[in-house]
């Protein structure tokens, strides 16, 4: 990523000035040479001695790492239709493993002949997510989109309707499951998070204590232990005669965990609002809930969108921990694909494939959140 600099030449020099301190003359050169590659290299790579040393070091690192990696990834790799033995002989990456196993890794235990259903559901889901990314649609319209997409996804995944065979949710797996856990984790946690954030800023000591206690406790323990607790304790919490399925248990665990983190993000937004807003609302004689609903939250939540996206990213990565409680998310399927004795040696390929999928999603989301921050801060730039 180019630093923020690339968008605004003035900031570029400002940023550099914290570290580099370019003189006015240098800046002048910089403008003059912007069109010639050599001049660019001189300004950006060899402007002074320490800079040159840094450049040489960086190039060394690249030379040392890139060729062997390329060798393994592409040149010595075996691709389609190879068997495990051919892979071993070639000595590079074994992408035929992915060719054989990709459907299992992507969809887990979902009935093989019905894979088009999770695929379609996932497509719709991602499309709806992409649509929600457009700030112009942040109004009632987006609710209609989700109100339409979610039931359709539900019907596609569960089936048992419109001639689709019923697929119980213990057979769901792979990428759809990862997406569901992460998205619902955030969506379901949101109302709870707002309540917790308001409670933590409330002036009633008992409520504040309960909210602080909850937030700090949850933020102090690893998700692994929360998931584990959820998978053991939820069946015990319910009165006799009720059981609750594993997926929902994990989903609740992730939700309760995420809510605490999200609450802190929302609280940040509440704190960032100028005091005047609160005072003005009080002056209008609005009650607490009216004030919160009409004045405070609409403004605060806009400020909080980038941190929410960031929370979504970490939630998306954290779903990989449901491997602990035996749910077949993307990482679990990638590992289970390796249980096949023929393909066991190719675990690196399996991880690289999974890492690549995670990276794609998280990278785009993180770029999006940076874009949002810039867009929202456009008015408040120094």
Closer of 157 and 295 to another protein (Cβ) = 157
Q: Rounded to the nearest whole angstrom, what is the least distance from the CB of residue 203 to another protein in the complex?
A: 8
Rounded (10°) angle between helices 116-132 and 174-200: 40
Task: Rank residues 180 and 295 by Cβ distance to another protein and give the closer one.
Answer: 180
CB of 104 to another protein, least distance (A): 5
Q: How far is the CB of 140 from another protein (least distance, A)?
A: 7
Are the beta carbons of 86 and 342 closer than 8 angstroms? no
Distance in Å, CB of 278 to another protein, minimum: 16
In this structure, the number of other CB atoms found within 10 A of the CB of residue 355 comes to: 12
Q: Least distance in Å: CB of 89 to another protein?
A: 10
Nearer to another protein, 277 or 366 (CB): 366
Nearer of residues 95 and 107 to another protein, judged by Cβ: 107
Q: What angle do CA 173, 342, 108 make, to 5 degrees?
A: 5
**What tokens appear for 214 in the block?**
């909850």
Residue 350 tokens, joined: 């399996």
Compute the least distance from the CB of residue 337 to another protein, in Å: 8
CB of 148 to another protein, least distance (A): 9
Closest CA to 175 of 329, 325, 351: 329
Distances (CA, A) of 88 to 25, 81, 84, 97, 337: 59, 14, 6, 12, 18
Q: How would you write 292-321 as a 3-class SS string?
A: HHHHHHHHHHHHHHHHHHHHHHHHHHHHHH
**94: β partners:** 78
Residue 295 or 323: the one with the smaller Cβ distance to another protein is 323
Count Cα neighbours of 339 within 13 Å in the Cβ-side half-sphere. 8
Q: What is the phi/psi pair of residue 329, to 5°?
A: -80, -175
| Among candidate residues 168, 179, 112, 167, the one with its CA nearest the CA of residue 330 | 179
Min CB(190)–another protein separation in Å: 10
Q: How far is the CB of 65 from another protein (least distance, A)?
A: 11
Contacts 24+ apart (CB under 8 A), 228-231: 228/324, 228/325, 229/253, 230/256, 230/325, 231/325
- The Cα–Cα gap between 69 and 98 comes to 18
């Amino acid at each position: 990523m180019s630093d923020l600099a690339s968008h605004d030449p003035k900031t570029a020099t400002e940023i550099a000035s914290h570290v580099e301190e370019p003189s006015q003359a240098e800046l002048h050169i910089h403008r003059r040479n912007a069109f010639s590659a050599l001049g660019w290299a001189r300004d950006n790579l060899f402007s002074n001695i320490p800079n040159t040393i840094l450049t040489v070091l960086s190039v060394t690192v690249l030379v040392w790492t890139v060729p062997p990696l390329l060798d393994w990834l592409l040149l010595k790799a075996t691709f389609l239709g190879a068997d495990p033995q051919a892979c071993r002989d070639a000595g590079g990456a074994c992408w035929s493993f992915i060719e054989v196993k990709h459907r299992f890794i992507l969809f887990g235990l979902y009935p093989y002949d019905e894979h088009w259903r999770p695929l379609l559901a996932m497509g719709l889901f991602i499309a709806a997510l992409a649509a929600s990314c457009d700030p112009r649609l942040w109004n009632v319209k987006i609710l209609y989109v989700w109100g339409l997409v979610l039931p359709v996804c539900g019907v596609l995944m569960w089936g048992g309707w419109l001639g689709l065979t019923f697929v119980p949710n213990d057979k769901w797996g792979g990428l759809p499951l990862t997406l569901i856990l992460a998205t619902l984790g955030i969506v379901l946690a949101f109302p709870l998070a707002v309540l917790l954030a308001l409670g933590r800023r409330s002036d009633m000591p008992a409520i504040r204590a309960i909210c602080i206690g909850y937030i700090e406790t949850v933020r102090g323990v690893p998700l692994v232990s929360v998931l584990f607790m959820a998978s053991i304790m939820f069946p015990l919490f319910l009165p006799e005669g009720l059981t609750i399925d594993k997926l929902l248990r994990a989903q609740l665990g992730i939700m309760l965990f995420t809510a605490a983190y999200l609450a802190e993000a929302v609280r940040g937004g509440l704190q960032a609002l100028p005091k005047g807003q609160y005072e003005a609302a009080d002056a209008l004689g609005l009650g607490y809930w009216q004030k919160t609903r009409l004045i405070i939250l609409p403004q605060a939540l806009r400020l909080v969108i980038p941190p929410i996206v960031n929370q979504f990213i970490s939630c998306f990565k954290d779903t990989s921990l449901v491997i602990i409680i035996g749910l077949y998310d993307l990482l679990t399927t990638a590992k289970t694909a390796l249980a096949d004795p023929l393909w066991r040696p190719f675990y690196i390929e399996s991880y690289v494939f999974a890492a690549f999928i995670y990276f794609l999603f998280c990278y785009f989301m993180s770029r999006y959140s940076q874009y949002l921050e810039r867009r929202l801060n456009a008015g408040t730039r120094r």
